[in-house]
Chain A
């Protein structure tokens, strides 16, 4: 394990919804450049954990540090600007917007032209919009999505929608990318393409990736370390090999052994 400072440090984080403890006492450290998996049975609290990392939920216990900074009570859009971006379990594209506009929305924070200069069509409106357009097109080319640029996002094939969602998340220029079940609903061939894509973006963008996944072949194939969540608790953590043989993990997935 690397010795330098972690990019993301999660300390004793937990959240309660009323009396329900959805997640409790989760500790996690992600180091720059790592690809880490987060697995667990349905309802284990994986997505809830993502929602806490991205500010959608405010944890009731513990704290989250990103690059040494406490993220407590930061709204989602600020957390995105700090460098954490995500995709969603059920694809959340801007369906009525074109493919290129989906990416341009992610570039919004970079815009130099204000509302007033947009309304008055000042020169920096034109240069700003043009720059965005060119950058977004370059970006789409990188993901082989440029052929769809003017299509509405909702009209893309399913696999391409996933691809676009990852592209859009990367357009915010994150250091940490959270992927929530990117292979959900994909056939084996598409899953394979996704694995290639993840390898490609890691190298290209110098990313740290945290991946929620159900597809074991994907997780075991690409992740360097794996955390296992069950009933809101971390029950194991280690290399894929260690996780595969961990008694508690086997128990969580397959049930207790009859003695």
Chain B
């Protein structure tokens, strides 16, 4: 017999997702909120996709990649070419964008994942810049002035992709393959000694992460009428990185919450353009001061409900007395 472990929580999540979707859909369809807020919600959804995809690479597998905007750009441009130049529908653009980004992820991942820590960060940063400059110089897609893209991204598309991203990455994480990735993050040498093919799992995490970044890029491209290489600079990579770090490295719900909160803060502050970046930065500084391990640490929101019953006796004080 198959035992569904998270039955209750799972169905609750489905219900929650459905209710959330319906409410927002009704609100948008009845024009209760203006275009500006609709756009904010779509942006939020796209940022959640990007944050969760980077969470798999950095938070779960521990590979410090800061070239995520590169995958975003690959997804955005590929999908735009498919919809605008080749006249394909949006869903083909989404898949093509995801696949193109995944291929890019694999190409950059296989050689550079031998590098560790800072070196990997620099290599991925370089990759992001290479992508940007390459698009800058291709006339077919408009070069520096960019490419006009129709506004095709709608709430159902964003929500569907967001749900898919979260489900896939959650299911991956909660399996033996996810544990293999976490073991790479915790101690690569020990993971190797346990029979884990560490390179393989790093590439897999990169592949899945960059695929969803590409999907996010495709949605992005069809949300803002125009895409330009300058939108995908390294500052964009840092924006996504901040969601993951601020939410708590290793926590998916943390990344989601951080993406929502920071998008909200950033949007609300547009009314004060002269102080916007100062306040935004101050929020980041104070969050890291008071919650240095991120908003949720490594915990998930769901663990607040489920973990309580698992608690048993035994030492919980966390004293690791080193005798030596």
The chain A residues found within 8 Å of chain B, CB to CB, are 54, 56, 75-77, 80-81, 85-86, 88, 92-97, 101, 104-109, 111, 113, 115, 118-121, 123, 125-130, 132, 147-148, 150-151, 154-158, 161, 168-169, 172, 184-187, 190
The yes or no answer to B168 lying at the interface (CB within 8 A) is yes
Chain A residues whose C-beta falls within 8 Å of the C-beta of B315 in the assembled complex: 148, 151, 155-157
Report the nearest A residue to B187, measured CB to CB: A92
A111, B176: Cβ atoms under 8 Å? yes
Given known A97-B179, A130-B3, contact A172–B195 (CB-CB < 8 A):
yes
Chain A residues whose C-beta falls within 8 Å of the C-beta of B193 in the assembled complex: 54, 76-77, 80, 85-86, 88, 92, 169
- Please give the distance in Å from B166's CB to the nearest CB on chain A: 12
Complex alpha-carbon distance, A118 and B171, angstroms:
6
B171, A105: Cβ atoms under 8 Å? no
Most central of A119, A120, A129, A148 by chain B CB within 10 Å: A119
Which 5 A/B pairs are nearest by Cβ-Cβ distance?
Answer: A185-B324, A118-B175, A94-B186, A92-B190, A80-B195
- Please give the distance in Å from A43's CB to the nearest CB on chain B: 18
Chain A residues whose C-beta falls within 8 Å of the C-beta of B322 in the assembled complex: 158, 185
Given known A76-B193, A77-B195, contact A121–B321 (CB-CB < 8 A):
no
Can you list 29 residue pairs at the A/B interface with Cβ under 8 Å? A75-B192, A77-B194, A77-B195, A80-B192, A92-B189, A93-B186, A93-B187, A94-B190, A96-B250, A97-B179, A97-B182, A105-B180, A106-B194, A106-B195, A115-B172, A118-B177, A119-B168, A119-B175, A126-B5, A127-B2, A147-B314, A148-B315, A150-B310, A151-B314, A155-B318, A156-B315, A169-B193, A185-B323, A186-B323
The yes or no answer to B8 lying at the interface (CB within 8 A) is no
Partner of A104, one of B2, B176, B187, B298: B176
Complex alpha-carbon distance, A88 and B193, angstroms:
10
Report the nearest B residue to A172, measured CB to CB: B195
Provide the B168-212 mask, 1 if CB < 8 A to any CB of A, else 0.
100110111111101100110111111111100000100000000
Chain B residues whose C-beta falls within 8 Å of the C-beta of A81 in the assembled complex: 195
Chain B residues whose C-beta falls within 8 Å of the C-beta of A119 in the assembled complex: 168, 171-172, 175
Partner of B198, one of A77, A109, A190: A77
Interface of B is mostly: loop
Chain A residues whose C-beta falls within 8 Å of the C-beta of B318 in the assembled complex: 154-155
Complex alpha-carbon distance, A245 and B198, angstroms:
45
- Please give the distance in Å from B110's CB to the nearest CB on chain A: 15
B175, A96: Cβ atoms under 8 Å? no
A155, B316: Cβ atoms under 8 Å? yes
The yes or no answer to B320 lying at the interface (CB within 8 A) is yes
- Please give the distance in Å from B209's CB to the nearest CB on chain A: 13
Complex alpha-carbon distance, A127 and B315, angstroms:
32
Residues of B259-308 whose CB lies within 8 A of A: 298
Given known A77-B195, A80-B193, contact A121–B314 (CB-CB < 8 A):
no
Report the nearest B residue to A151, measured CB to CB: B314
The yes or no answer to B111 lying at the interface (CB within 8 A) is no
B4, A126: Cβ atoms under 8 Å? yes
Q: How many residues of B contact A (CB 8 A)?
A: 46
Further pairs besides A77-B197, A123-B2, A150-B311: 7, Cβ < 8 Å: A56-B192, A75-B197, A119-B168, A147-B313, A161-B320, A184-B324, A185-B323
A157, B192: Cβ atoms under 8 Å? no
Chain A residues whose C-beta falls within 8 Å of the C-beta of B187 in the assembled complex: 92-95
Chain B residues whose C-beta falls within 8 Å of the C-beta of A127 in the assembled complex: 2
Partner of A168, one of B5, B189, B194, B319: B194
- Please give the distance in Å from B1's CB to the nearest CB on chain A: 9
Report the nearest B residue to A111, measured CB to CB: B176
Partner of B320, one of A106, A107, A154, A186: A154
Most central of A56, A115, A154 by chain B CB within 10 Å: A115
A105, B179: Cβ atoms under 8 Å? yes
- Please give the distance in Å from A126's CB to the nearest CB on chain B: 5
Complex alpha-carbon distance, A106 and B187, angstroms:
13
Most central of A76, A151, A157 by chain B CB within 10 Å: A76
Chain B residues whose C-beta falls within 8 Å of the C-beta of A85 in the assembled complex: 193
Chain A residues whose C-beta falls within 8 Å of the C-beta of B179 in the assembled complex: 97, 101, 104-105, 108
Report the nearest B residue to A99, measured CB to CB: B314
Complex alpha-carbon distance, A126 and B321, angstroms:
38
Chain A residues whose C-beta falls within 8 Å of the C-beta of B171 in the assembled complex: 118-121
B198, A147: Cβ atoms under 8 Å? no
Given known A126-B3, A129-B175, A172-B194, contact A158–B320 (CB-CB < 8 A):
yes
Chain A residues whose C-beta falls within 8 Å of the C-beta of B310 in the assembled complex: 150
Given known A85-B193, A109-B195, contact A94–B323 (CB-CB < 8 A):
no
Provide the B43-76 mask, 1 if CB < 8 A to any CB of A, else 0.
0000000000000000000000000000000000
Chain A residues whose C-beta falls within 8 Å of the C-beta of B320 in the assembled complex: 154-158, 161
Complex alpha-carbon distance, A54 and B315, angstroms:
34
Chain B residues whose C-beta falls within 8 Å of the C-beta of A97 in the assembled complex: 179, 182-183, 186
Complex alpha-carbon distance, A81 and B197, angstroms:
10
Complex alpha-carbon distance, A56 and B198, angstroms:
13
- Please give the distance in Å from A209's CB to the nearest CB on chain B: 16
- Please give the distance in Å from B164's CB to the nearest CB on chain A: 10
Given known A108-B179, A150-B310, contact A77–B196 (CB-CB < 8 A):
yes
Chain B residues whose C-beta falls within 8 Å of the C-beta of A148 in the assembled complex: 314-315
